[in-house]
């Protein structure tokens, strides 16, 4: 397996991902690799741009990170009917070592395709709603640190600079 999870400020994370036009063996392979990487890093969701593939595909497993019982792959996901408001602490495998509260819609409707090309229509709330919004944001080049206050963002950028400098010196 050659892919790995890329981290901020990698430019692919800021791009708008392209729709999947056809579900090929390559797409199925990509989804399988993403699931492995997501589990390895103890994530509950991963978006293709996080492995430097700028296409609209996400993997989600809310039974994780310890269990691996409910893997879902959503292709060309679109959310609608966003309702309510919920604040929760988020992290991201592409933003290591940082977590922050983010405000999101509490409920939504998801339309997508599964790996067999079948349409998926699903109402989601709570953690699934939060996770879908987080992952679909990735497809539009948006990270959860784009949704926090300016002050928090500045502090994070400072911390990151220090880490990157340290890494270079090590």
CB–CB of 144/95 below 8 Å? yes
Site for Ni ion in 96-135 (CB under 5 A): none
Contact criterion met (CB below 8 Å) for 77 and 129: no
**Does residue number 92 form part of the binding site for Ni ion (CB under 5 A)?**
yes
State which residue, 92 or 132, has the beta carbon closest to Ni ion: 92
- CB of 23 or CB of 33, closer to Ni ion: 33
| 25 phi-psi bin (left φ>0, alpha ψ -120 to 50, beta other) | alpha
| Shortest separation between residue 94's beta carbon and Ni ion, angstroms | 5
User: Which among 90, 135, 157, 169 is annotated as catalytic?
Assistant: 135
Compare residues 60 and 108 and give the one whose CB is closer to Ni ion.
Answer: 60
Cβ distance to Ni ion smaller for residue 23 or 110? 110
Cα 33–23–61 angle (5° rounding)? 45
CB of 122 to Ni ion, least distance (A): 20
Angle at Cα 43 formed by Cα 42 and Cα 49, nearest 5°?
130
The nearest distance, CB 82 to Ni ion, in angstroms, is: 19
**Residue 48 class from Cβ within 10 Å (0-12 exposed, 13-18 middle, 19+ buried)?**
buried
CB of 61 to Ni ion, least distance (A): 14
Check if 157 is active-site.
Answer: no
Which parts of this chain interact with Ni ion (CB under 5 A)?
92
Residues acting as catalytic residues:
135
């Amino acid at each position: 397996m050659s892919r790995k999870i890329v981290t901020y400020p990698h430019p692919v994370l800021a791009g708008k991902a392209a729709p999947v036009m056809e579900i090929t063996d390559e797409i199925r392979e990509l989804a399988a690799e993403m699931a492995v990487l997501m589990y390895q890093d103890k994530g509950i969701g991963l978006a293709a741009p996080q492995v430097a593939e700028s296409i609209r595909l996400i993997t989600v497993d809310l039974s994780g990170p310890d269990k691996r019982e409910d893997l879902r792959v959503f292709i060309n996901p679109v959310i609608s009917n966003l309702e309510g408001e919920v604040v929760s602490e988020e992290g991201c495998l592409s933003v290591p070592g940082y977590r922050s509260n983010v405000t999101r819609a509490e409920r939504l409707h998801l339309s997508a395709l599964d790996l067999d090309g079948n349409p998926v229509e699903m109402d989601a709330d709570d953690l699934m709603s939060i996770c879908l919004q987080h992952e679909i944001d990735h497809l539009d080049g948006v990270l959860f640190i784009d949704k926090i206050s300016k002050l928090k963002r500045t502090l994070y950028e400072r911390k990151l600079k220090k880490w990157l400098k340290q890494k270079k010196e090590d």
